Amino acid sequence: MTYWALNAVFLVPAAVVLLFALMRRTTTTTAGGRKGVLAALGITAVVLLLLTAVFDNVMIAAGLFWYNPERISGAFIGRAPLEDFAYTVAAVLLLPALWMLLGRRNNPLKARNAAINPQEKQ
């Protein structure tokens, strides 16, 4: 199994979850709507990919880990194979998607307390 095949196990589901989260999101939920989310994802991806490039190159140069040359594509950014950046991309796709899907929940305890004591400040 190549590293790209292993990466596909993480990248494909992450992309599917992000697409699902973006489809559920209405354009009026936050400032910028979907375009704002995509801009934030792009900025986050650039920053995290730059950090990954720097630190992975340092760790590979220090001999902390290595890649089997038979299982990589041969494309490198410095000493880091291109496949090494897939986990960063998966995190950029999946974490905001989960935030969009799971982050906004009504607090049932707060709603119940407001119904019981309408004058009490929450």
Tell me the pLDDT tens digit for each residue of 28-59.
455 567 788 889 999 999 999 999 999 999 99
- Average the pLDDT over 86-112 and give the result: 82
Distance CA 70, CA 118 (A): 67
12 pLDDT more than 60: yes
Enter the DSSP assignment of 120: S
Per mean pLDDT, which of 3-7, 66-70, 89-93, 105-109 is the most reliable? 89-93
113 pLDDT more than 70: no
- Is residue 77 within 8 Å of 52, Cβ to Cβ? no
What are the tens digits of pLDDT across the range 54-95? Answer: 999 999 999 999 888 899 998 999 999 999 999 999 999 999
Phi, psi of 57 (to 5 degrees): -60, -40
b/e per residue 26-58 (b: at least 16 CB within 10 A): eeeeeeeeeeebeeebeeebeeeeeebbeebbe
How, if at all, do strands 80-81 and 76-77 pair? antiparallel
- Is residue 77 within 8 Å of 85, Cβ to Cβ? yes
